[in-house]
A and B are shown apart, each in its own frame.
Chain A
């Protein structure tokens, strides 16, 4: 199994040049490998690995005006320690702080967390509320295209990319400083845990009134997307017990949790409602 064919291009252009040799094969993009190394025995026999570890061009964090661009191969710890991200995108810091361990965060990449497309991926809900988009590299033509993050996902651990395509950049519009952020996840234990349910929120609440709000929930639907109905309901309302009660009812209809090895449908539903309440109260009191 370890004899699998692997390629380690040093530039995107090198990947484009070697691509005709492997076009049509089952290509697996290998970034930090913290998921793939665990499951490597179960991967298809004919898989060909393209390792991104040599692609230095995908390891940057830069800020242009009101946009932050994170290279897909930036590790979670590099993001956690980035002054730009700490200043401009605290919600991403809050989320990454809850992820895995020092050892894993030194290897795991943000592109890998998105690429894996798990509904429990903890960078995904913050990126969805931030309105992030992805730059995709097409190895056949060496061209790039950009898609919004929700467009990338098409089911649990399934994405809309064609064989061999890879995520090169995550493009994030910097939110207004008036937007307060909230991220909370619930797992089996505090550290090194996979999410049973999580909530990301950016909201502007002034004088108890919700002026703007963006919500995304993790692990309670096949793909992560905005909770638009709950958002619409909450906009221009005062945060009160009655509002929260009504919002929970709408939220419940907007999610579709399942029972699996990590939790049950009923518990996930309850968690999400309680997370929404905690979120609104936390931001309101902030």
Chain B
């Protein structure tokens, strides 16, 4: 089937089978290899991307649901100023070790920052936002520190990535 969608703000037209995974389309068809495959079962969150402004596991989204969809991946984030603040906070707090889970954690971080602007969050509320992301290196503390620092910064995430 032919599918027209937008990836990182750019219109894309491609051929895919209905049950092809968005993850494979991103990595193999479009060469956007920033998005990683961890478990392939929606548990680990390494493949997290935004679809129509909502977090999804790209390993669970079939091509047949992508018509007219707007996808934002880690590869597109350099277009935005806020990404600099996020990567800096991750670096300063040692929140990246092997780095394989990081693209997914960054996506969940963006969603948390967008939803929680100006709110004081408990540790459990922060942890819940990362229920769908697994990291086997950091023990999570360093990631939580990076996220807390960002929550207390004046970083602004736009309501939508592209107009």
Chain A: residues with CB nearer than 8 A to chain B? Answer: 1-4, 6, 8, 30, 32-34, 37-38, 40, 49, 51, 53, 77, 100-104, 106-107, 191-192
Of all chain B residues, which has the CB nearest A77? Answer: B54
- Evaluate whether A49 and B132 lie within 8 angstroms (CB atoms) in the complex, with A33-B60, A107-B56 already known: no
Query: Closest approach, in angstroms, between the C-beta of A192 and any C-beta of chain B?
Result: 5
Set of chain A residues within 8 Å of B54, measured between Cβ atoms: 77, 106
Residues A37 and B60 in contact, CB atoms below 8 Å apart: yes
**With an 8 A cutoff between CB atoms, is B36 at the interface?**
no
Interface residues of B in 52-87 (CB under 8 A from A): 54-57, 59-62, 64-65
- Evaluate whether A103 and B62 lie within 8 angstroms (CB atoms) in the complex, with A2-B20, A49-B18, A191-B128 already known: no
Residues B60 and A38 in contact, CB atoms below 8 Å apart: yes
Residues A192 and B132 in contact, CB atoms below 8 Å apart: yes
- In the assembled complex, the Cα of A107 lies from the Cα of B22 at a distance in Å of 13
Interface size in chain B (residues, C-beta < 8 A):
30
Main secondary structure of the interface of A (DSSP, over half): loop
Set of chain A residues within 8 Å of B62, measured between Cβ atoms: 30, 33, 37, 51
Interface residues of B in 3-24 (CB under 8 A from A): 17-21
- In the assembled complex, the Cα of A33 lies from the Cα of B41 at a distance in Å of 11
Main secondary structure of the interface of B (DSSP, over half): mixed
Q: A53 is contacted by which of B40, B42, B65, B108 (Cβ under 8 Å)? A: B65
**With an 8 A cutoff between CB atoms, is B121 at the interface?**
no
List 19 A-B residue pairs with CB atoms under 8 Å apart, sorted by A's residue number: A4-B19, A30-B62, A37-B42, A37-B62, A38-B60, A49-B19, A49-B64, A51-B18, A51-B65, A77-B54, A100-B132, A101-B42, A101-B131, A101-B132, A103-B132, A106-B56, A191-B128, A192-B131, A192-B132
Of all chain A residues, which has the CB nearest B124? Answer: A190
Set of chain B residues within 8 Å of A77, measured between Cβ atoms: 54
- In the assembled complex, the Cα of A146 lies from the Cα of B16 at a distance in Å of 38
- Evaluate whether A107 and B20 lie within 8 angstroms (CB atoms) in the complex, with A38-B42, A191-B128, A192-B132 already known: no
